[in-house]
Amino acid sequence: MNRNYTLKTNEDIKKLISMRNSVGSKYYVVYYLANTETKVGISISKRCGNAVLRNYEKRVMREILRSRLEVIKNYKIFIIIKKNSLSLDYKDKCKQVDYVLKKILKEKINET
């Protein structure tokens, strides 16, 4: 994922979470804001393992989202990875991310 697409500042993440637009599943929680520039932030708890494992999960998530940039265009998204997702393989993680992104798109359609 290109650096231009990353949510970096703590203020941006706090604003995004305070908007309370969220979608979740057993494996991920996604906070989002529509009709803005495309930005993505990823977080995983320290309880999910050591730094090597957490960084691996973030790299995998960035790779999954890289192929789905057209879907998340004009969205600010902050993804929280839950501990349950560590047991999934790559294909299942892709399916779960697709499921959560479809929920976001359905909510946007329902708002308009």
* The pLDDT value given to residue 63: 94
44, containing H or E segment: strand 39-44
Burial (CB < 10 A; 0-12, 13-18, 19+), residue 10, is exposed
64, containing H or E segment: helix 51-66
* The pLDDT value given to residue 1: 66
Q: What are the average pLDDT values for consecutive 10-residue runs of the chain, which has 112 residues?
A: 81 90 93 91 93 95 92 92 94 95 82 62
What is the C-alpha separation between 14 and 111, in angstroms, rounded?
Answer: 23
DSSP state for residue 27 in the 8-state scheme: S
For residue 68, what are its two tokens? 């789905």
What does R_g of the chain's alpha carbons equal in angstroms?
13
pTM, two decimals, is 0.89
* The pLDDT value given to residue 112: 58
**Alpha carbon of 70 to those of 51, 66, 107: distances in Å?**
30, 9, 17
Closest C-alpha to 105, from 85, 60, 63, 75: 75
CATH 1.20.1560.10 is right for the domain spanning 3-91: no
Domain spans, the chain: 3-91
